[in-house]
Amino acid sequence: MIPSSYPAPFQSAHVRARIVKILLIAGAVAAGLLLLAEAISLAFPPPTDDQELVDNLTGTAVALLVFLLAVLDMLIYWTTAVFFCVWLYRAYGNLRAFNSWSRPDYSPGWAVGGFFIPFVNLVLPYRAVREVWQKSVPPDPLVPASDPPASFPLWWLFWLLASFASKISFRVSFREEVPESTATMISIVAGALTIVAAVFAYLVVDAIDKRQEETSASVKLGTFSGPPPPPPNLGGYQDAAPIGRLS
């Protein structure tokens, strides 16, 4: 199928990107508070099975604080994940607006769905995000696609590390043979990696959002809603006298 010579409609993802960035900041703050609470819990461990709650009020209060912050952190995390996918779907779909003759490597659905497919989610999501940044500019056959900023691979590296650490922390928390302090330390490491990943994710979303908005403004993509109108004087030819009657 021959692609259309007219650009696909550009739909700004700026509002969605702003929401994602706000959620990333909120998530980093929540993770930082949880990390601090877990560090305090090392000094004030929760009551043991042989203790009553009233015998260790400080430890009980700290344990309750850790639980509440963990719930808050989880809620923000999944909300951020949903809005990130919504933003990525829109941003990836805009690639056809920048170059209607070049088919993207994936569909917007695949760019988002790649996060949820085992093993595929180790590579495909980063490739899709990198492609969004590379192709969010007018095509130039004389200039090869440039590599994204260093924040892109760093975001993906810390995202993978944080994911692995979080899974280890979750499994360790259910093993009675693992000391509470060890499980807490692993959770602290996972939280620290999550904060770093959130910082680089903010930079990635911000870079792509600015690139798409600047490109759409420079080439006025918002004005392309369909084929250009016919010349205003096209109807005049119907009223013109035949050449043979001009004499």
In 94-150, which ranges are continuous DSSP H helix? 95-98, 108-113, 124-134
CA gap 69, 35 in Å, rounded: 9
- Domain range enclosing 208: 14-224
**pLDDT tens digits for range 188-241:** 999 999 999 999 999 999 999 999 999 888 876 654 444 444 555 544 444 444
- Residue 234 located in a structural domain: no
CA gap 106, 78 in Å, rounded: 24
Report the Cα 157 to chain-centroid distance in Å: 14
Burial 21-33 (b: 16+ CB within 10 A, else e): bebbebbbebbbb
Model pLDDT, residue 2: 38
Asked if 125 and 155 count as a contact pair (C-beta separation under 8 A), the reply is no
Model pLDDT, residue 79: 98
Low-confidence stretches of the chain (pLDDT < 70) are: 1-8, 46-56, 140-145, 220-247
- Residue 25 located in a structural domain: yes
- Residue 241 located in a structural domain: no
The structural domain count of the chain equals 1
Give the tokens for residue 106.
């994936």
- Residue 215 located in a structural domain: yes
- Residue 242 located in a structural domain: no
- Residue 229 located in a structural domain: no
CA gap 67, 34 in Å, rounded: 9
- Residue 8 located in a structural domain: no
CB atoms within 10 A of CB 130: 19
Model pLDDT, residue 89: 96
Asked if 214 and 156 count as a contact pair (C-beta separation under 8 A), the reply is no
Model pLDDT, residue 138: 78
CA gap 7, 135 in Å, rounded: 14
Model pLDDT, residue 181: 86
- Residue 128 located in a structural domain: yes
pTM of the prediction?
0.81
